[in-house]
């Protein structure tokens, strides 16, 4: 496969990666997530040897979203511990699809997005995010169960 230069790769996949980033990080965090992920991918030592650049970029965006989520979760825990009132009450959950999707894990949102919005098969999703097909199916099952619970 002919390798595209970095600018061509970005132009070719930017729109679909932006939609994917928006699903994982929300509309306000999508641009930062994508910029960080693309920078990380293009500056990695193995970038020139990547056969499937599209799949690699999807994996990097997913892993960057997971890293950002872990960082945010750790920060939130520190802030909660430091708060004067230790009783923290989460906002009530609206019975709305977007709100329900936000309650899924990042990996579950990624699988749901790729299967339902990008119209990929579980095998294609597994290849895209660097996981096994069984893991994708398990995450999809968990996501469906969680959505059913949240939306009922």
Compute CA 147 distance to the chain's CA centroid, rounded to the nearest angstrom. Answer: 17
* Res 131 pLDDT > 80: yes
Q: Assess contact for 107 and 62: CB atoms under 8 A.
A: yes
Q: Which residue shows structure tokens 């999703």? A: 125
120 and 114 Cβ atoms separated by less than 8 Å: yes
Tens-place pLDDT, residues 3-37: 678 889 899 999 999 999 999 999 999 999 999 99
- The tens digit of pLDDT for each residue in 57-90 reads 999 999 999 999 999 888 887 766 665 554 545 4
Asked if the model's pLDDT at residue 150 lies above 90, the reply is no
CA 141 – CA 115 distance, rounded (Å): 12
Read off the pTM: 0.60
> According to CATH, what is the number of the domain 90-152?
1.10.10.10
- Count the Cβ atoms, other than its own, within 10 Å of residue 58: 25
Calculate what percentage of the chain has a pLDDT beyond 70.
86
Rounded distance between C-alpha atoms, residue 91 and residue 89, angstroms: 7
Rounded CA Rg of the chain? 17
Cβ pair 57, 37 in contact under 8 A: yes
């Amino acid at each position: 496969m002919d390798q595209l230069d970095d600018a061509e790769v970005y132009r070719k996949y930017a729109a679909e990666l932006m939609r994917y980033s928006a699903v994982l990080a929300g509309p306000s965090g999508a641009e930062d997530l994508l910029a960080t992920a693309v920078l990380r991918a293009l500056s990695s030592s193995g970038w020139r040897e990547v056969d499937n650049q599209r799949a690699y970029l999807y994996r990097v965006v997913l892993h960057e979203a997971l890293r950002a989520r872990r960082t945010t979760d750790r920060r939130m825990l520190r802030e909660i511990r430091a708060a004067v009132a230790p009783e923290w009450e989460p906002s009530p959950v609206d019975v709305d699809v977007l709100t329900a999707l936000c309650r899924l894990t990042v990996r579950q949102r990624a699988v749901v997005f790729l299967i339902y919005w990008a119209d990929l098969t579980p095998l294609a999703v597994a290849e895209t995010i660097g996981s096994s097909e069984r893991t994708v199916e398990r995450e999809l099952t968990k996501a469906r169960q969680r959505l059913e619970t949240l939306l009922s």
